[in-house]
Amino acid sequence: MPLSAVLAADDPAAPPEAPVSLDEAARHAEDAAGWVEQNWSTWLNTSLRIALILVVALVLRMLVRRALTKLIARMNRSAQAVEGTALGGLLVNAERRRQRSEAIGSVLRSVASFVILGTAGLMILGAFKIDLAPLLASAGVAGVAIGFGARNLVTDFLSGVFMIMEDQYGVGDSVDAGVASGEVIEVGLRVTKLRGDDGEIWYVRNGEIKRIGNLSQGWATGTVDVAVRPSEDLERVRSVIGEVAEEIAKSEPWNEQLWGPVEILGLTEVLLDSMTIRISAKTMPGKALGVERELRWRIKQAFDAAGIRIVGGLPQAVDEASADPSAGVAPPSALASPTSPQSLAAAPIPQGPNLAK
């Protein structure tokens, strides 16, 4: 029994419902069938378009993600190929490169999925005859407003993305960022954290970094300048420094920190009282200062043993027996004699008798 009939039976005040005739029911059925027959092609067309859009979007997303995965795997294989070689030790950290490539791959896959599925969603809305112009206009206005209001945030984010993609620096590197310098303890898309030499922590926005100097990539160069007297024998000085260079290259732990032979570059300055000899050594990143200190220590000890004096030490002792006794006597002055022409010319002019009146 229909629900309306039950309600009507419960409510005696309700008017009796008129029975539906057979002809009227047949007419309603014919109208519904005609409407379905008239719109079924549109429904089928829309359904096929939506299904085609979804299939193409999913296939395209799968292909793009697979291509990105293969690209990341190729980058990892190239990093493993140079691992353990001289190039790998100087320029490439395989594990760090693998982590960076995986992070970049994850970001690219997410961006690709968002773009492909977002475009598919807009096309599906268009298939339902929904006007997308107001939606796109609103999105454009919102994008412009966000761009003006958060331009610094966008700049920091884009700088962080390119910094990670280019592997400019990573955690553990010693860098000079211009506004601050120290060891990198955290790398983000917006802010980089550095620990300074005194233990302070610097929060540097990526958009404020105009130039970056990485002191932990490649190698470092230690330079030592030694100033000696110009009367020293240059060949003897070169021989002593060469012995020090061979000794430090064979001793621990300096043989691991030195990535090349210690080179004597030659004279960099020749003055009347000194001449400067420059020594250079290629070292591990961040080990240049320690190598320079050790070189100065060993060169000073070797020069003392060889009798080579470094400019700036104690003055030479003078033999009193061979010293000239007249060296400390002042020369005679012409003004000491009152009758000398110089004394007469310097004497005051006497006043005449008329001048006293």
Pairwise CA distance, residues 46 & 149, whole Å: 41
Burial of 262 (0-12, 13-18, 19+ CB in 10 A): buried
Q: Are 112 and 65 in contact (CB under 8 A)?
A: yes
Three-state secondary structure of 283-320: ECCCCHHHHHHHHHHHHHHHHHHHCCCECCCCCCCCCC
With bands split at pLDDT 50, 70 and 90, how would you rate the model's confidence at 278? very high
Is residue 5 pLDDT above 70, yes or no?
Answer: no
Mean pLDDT across the chain, nearest whole number?
75
At 342 the three-state DSSP class reads: helix
Q: Model confidence at 91, in pLDDT bands (50, 70, 90)?
A: very low
For 225, the enclosing helix (H) or strand (E) is: strand 220-228
Biggest CA–CA distance in the chain, Å, is 166
For 58-77, the pLDDT digits (tens) are: 999 999 988 888 887 776 66
The region of weakest confidence among 84-98, 136-150, 322-336 is 84-98
Cβ burial, residue 299 (10 Å; 0-12/13-18/19+): buried
Could you check whether the bond before residue 253 is cis, i.e. omega within 30 degrees of 0? yes
Reported as a single tens digit per residue, the pLDDT across 154-204 is 788 888 878 877 778 877 788 888 888 888 888 877 888 899 888 889 999
What is residue 252's three-state secondary structure?
coil
pLDDT tens digits for range 18-62 = 565 666 666 666 666 666 666 667 777 778 888 888 999 999 999
Q: Give the DSSP H or E segment for 328.
A: none
How much is the pLDDT for 1?
44
Collapse the DSSP code of 200 into the 3-class scheme (helix H, G, I; strand E, B; otherwise coil) and give the result: coil
Where residue 152 falls among pLDDT bands split at 50, 70, 90? Answer: confident
d(CA 283, CA 291): 8
* Predicted pLDDT of residue 254: 85
Q: Tokens 């001449």 appear where? A: 275
pLDDT class for 16, splitting at 50, 70, 90?
low
Three-state secondary-structure class, residue 216: coil
Yes or no: say if 265 and 279 are a contact pair by the CB < 8 Å rule: yes
Angstrom distance (rounded) from CA 173 to CA 289: 16
